[in-house]
Amino acid sequence: MNKKQLGNSDLHLSPIGFGAWAIGGGDWAFAWGDQDDNDSIAAIHKALDLGINWIDTAAVYGLGHSEEVVARALKTTSHKPYIFTKCGMVWGERDAEGKRDITNSLKQIRREVEDSLRRLQVETIDLYQVHWPKPDEELEEAWTVMADLQKQGKVRYIGVSNFSPAQMERAIKIAPITSNQPPYSMLNRAVEAEILPFTLKHNIGTINYAPMHSGLLTGAMSKERVAAFPANDFRSRAKNYQEPYLSRNLAIADHLKEIGTRHNVNAGVVAIAWTLHNPAITAAIVGGRNAKQVEGVIPAITFRLTDAEYAEINVFLEAHPAP
């Protein structure tokens, strides 16, 4: 396995990391539906046993629950992966209907880091990321706090997520950025124009999330499965899971299956490899809700597309544009 250095850090990452978004469970606005914690722990253990050396989570995933599950999993394994988490999305108390508002605030980072350290049961977070640059006017104050947390040793490195080049420029004036975490898949290529060239130029590592577009490109998705999504699965409301987009996206997944069959890997592995083909990508975040799912995507650690196969996929994408 070829590991890559993350930006200006001394962290060398496996080509894919374990994404802990879905294991937060169904008790928040951007959930993937209900989740069994034992399945989550088994998924993490399987990922670590098979060579993944980093986990990416966030305070808001399950309103703290994802971080707690990660901690539980690490208590029962000898592996010591890098732990990445995020701040900047905070939630309030339950209302009369049992719901909690989630707001973007960059003024509570000092409290958030203490909460994440407690939930993760670690003394230092390997990479601490600003989840969203919102509110924009609080960016400089937030990045100053992030740099101070690094100096204090509470976090080893600091990164950003979903930042534009202009916002990264503003942060760099205060302290170096180790990484940016944007969405990137063949269904969401917006970062190719400006963000990926910027991070490559400035030696900012890039760990992309949703390389399989939240399961849509795994080859296991179908119209029937989408129609059966529970109400607490955010994908039931996502644009790319609705027509006229859904039929086009499933056709792309079918094409990835064809390429995967040549190498005895599934469509999701091909989708991940497509993102890793971009030289600006350090590593990809890949979720898994149980050990079987992890086993299905783990070939992405070593599988790579040839230039010809990469071009073949791009030709197919051009011939099947979004509606």
Residues whose CB is less than 8 angstroms from the CB of residue 261 and which lie 6 or more positions away in sequence, other chains included = none
Reading the block at residue 188, the tokens are 């969401």
61 classed as catalytic: yes
Query: Does residue 244 have a cis peptide bond before it, meaning omega lies within 30 degrees of 0?
Result: yes
DSSP H or E stretch at residue 185: none
Reading the block at residue 167, the tokens are 């916002």
| CB 245 within 8 Å of CB 323 | yes
- The residue assigned the tokens 């269904």 is 187
Separation of alpha carbons 129 and 142, rounded Å: 11
Helices assigned H by DSSP within 27-138: 37-49, 65-75, 109-120
Backbone conformation region of residue 309, classed left if phi is above 0, alpha if psi is from -120 to 50, else beta:
alpha
Query: Could you tell me the sign of the dihedral formed by the alpha carbons of 62, 149, 44, 212, in that order?
Result: positive
Angle at 151 between CA 148 and CA 156, to 5 degrees: 105
DSSP H or E stretch at residue 84: strand 82-87
Separation of alpha carbons 63 and 279, rounded Å: 34
Query: Coil, helix or strand for 159?
Result: strand
- Burial zone of 236 (CB within 10 Å; 0-12 exposed, 13-18 middle, 19+ buried): middle
Name the residue type at position 39: D
φ, ψ for residue 153 (rounded to 5)? 85, 5
Active site amino acids: 61
